[in-house]
Chains A and B, each alone.
Chain A
Amino acid sequence: MNLTLKVWRQKNTQTAGKFVTYKAEGISPDMSFLEMLDVVNESLIKKQEDPIHFDHDCREGICGMCSLYINGRPHGPKRAITTCQLHMRSFSDGETITIEPWRSAAFPIVKDLATDRSAFDRIQQAGGFISVNTGGVPDANSTLIPKVIADEAFNSATCIGCGACVAACKNASAMLFTSAKITQLGLLPQGQPERWSRVQAMVNQMDEEGFGNCTNTGACEAECPKEITLMNISRMNNDFFSAELFREEHTHDGGGNG
């Protein structure tokens, strides 16, 4: 396969970037999209040029490191896969492919196609945890969880934090990510003690990072490689309003802390 690539090149966070056109020649349809970029980079290195910078790690769709906004869609034209799982047979010979980085004020570009997604880490650190006691090992299955709840929580927990939801959203909102991280814990018994403070802390951190606001357009769930659903956002909203408007943050004698 021979392809024309229009790739966003940007030296660093501070400088402005631009599109540069490259030829990708002799590409096998069985290559993954990242392997195709590897081939292009090898030729660039041979020509003593700066290779295209892009994020990748496990290359099997579970680490959430690869990104790329390919022809108007995060992770390319296929449903429910990451860019590393996208194969060149999904494109046709002679096609022009435009490759852009995730676009969000909260994801500054490190170089070329690589973005700094540590805003997600800070949201997670704000409340995406549970407190557990060390000590004796509890019996297996001593905490009973209905199957529906367990399945829902596990569905939310499949989020790999790649940021495709932010990239796809017309408002660059991070609500699908944040809500999945809130829901996976908020549904389970182990997540109950911090349920209300968690949703408040994580939503506040999300706002501070400068993400946009959800309009329930649904591009995020359509592009999510792990098929996280909008249902998570509704659950987050419900918990947030409940926490903000109806939960006691102090005891009636004025003590306790929220």
Chain B
Amino acid sequence: MSEFKQTFNSSLGKKLIMALTGLFLCTFLIVHVGGNLLLFKHDDGFAFNSYANFLTHFPPIEVVAWILYLCIIIHAVYALVLTIKNRKARPVGYAVQSKSPTSWSSRNMGILGSILLLFIVIHMGDFWFNYKYQETIGFKEYRTNLATNETTVADYKPEVAGFERSISTENNVEIVRVKDLHTRIQWSFSHLWYVVFYVIAMGAVSFHLLHGFQSAFKTLGWVHKKYDGIVSFIGTWLFAVIIPLLFAAMPIVYYFQSLSK
């Protein structure tokens, strides 16, 4: 055990932890953006609410979710530890700011990461905490006629306290009663300042991953001329362009929908 401790206490060991947790958070983003695309479905949140219900009631996902929260904390704590060590390594700074040709994102990972941590706390406080631990979120009842595949929606007031969800079938009608996170999202994204904050945070995601994804591969030592191009392509286009744009589109679209109501 002490050998592992020694490994992960070394400079490279700490970098290894940063890289592995960072890449795990990157893969999570793919799943997160994929699932949340259901927000763009015009079905009064049926698909999205069912998806949110699935995520919170399927045990393996619960386990992965807690690993994810742990990774966020470890990534942030190690970033802080490494930054403090790096500051100590240069107690007296330069009078002239460095003019070495380096990318802006690589020089500002700390501030970008801090914005993201603040975002994650607010984001999870708004949706995850309210969904799981508060009674602030209401319920919706979706009735789908299985013959015609038509769905109607209505608010649902639980008859007993602590009601979670129910799925039942009466005659030809499937009745799904789930927590209505969708309405909460509509409400949150009807506030302009909140939407602006989300868009800024997605900008931070973009620049953080523009450097972070490729940097993780370098730290792990997975560098090879044959694959560097692919890593840099995925890091730039998928993680720094497509994913942040899709995420940022969600609050923006919901904001404009709230205006037309």
Contacts and interface: CB of A to CB of B under 8 A. Distances in A.
Given A103-B94, A212-B85, 16 more contacts: A71-B96, A72-B98, A105-B88, A168-B100, A171-B90, A172-B89, A173-B11, A213-B82, A214-B15, A216-B218, A219-B101, A237-B12, A237-B218, A241-B220, A244-B6, A244-B13
Contacts of A204: 10
Contacts of B214: 216
Contact of A212 (B3, B13, B89, B103): B89
B106 A213 contact: no
The size class of the interface chain A forms with chain B is 35 or more
Contacts of B89: 104-106, 171-173, 210-212
Contacts of B15: 213-214, 237
22 contacts: A6-B95, A69-B94, A73-B100, A171-B86, A172-B90, A173-B11, A203-B10, A210-B88, A215-B86, A215-B109, A216-B215, A217-B102, A235-B223, A237-B12, A237-B15, A237-B16, A237-B221, A238-B222, A240-B10, A241-B12, A241-B220, A244-B3
B260 interface: no
Interface of B: 3, 6-7, 10-16, 82, 85-86, 88-103, 106-107, 109, 211, 214-215, 218-223
A103 B98 contact: no
Nearest to B219: A237
Interface stretch (A39-47, A81-89, A123-131, A226-234): A226-234
Nearest to A245: B7
Interface in A196-224: 203-204, 206-207, 210-219, 222-223
B217 to A, nearest CB: 8
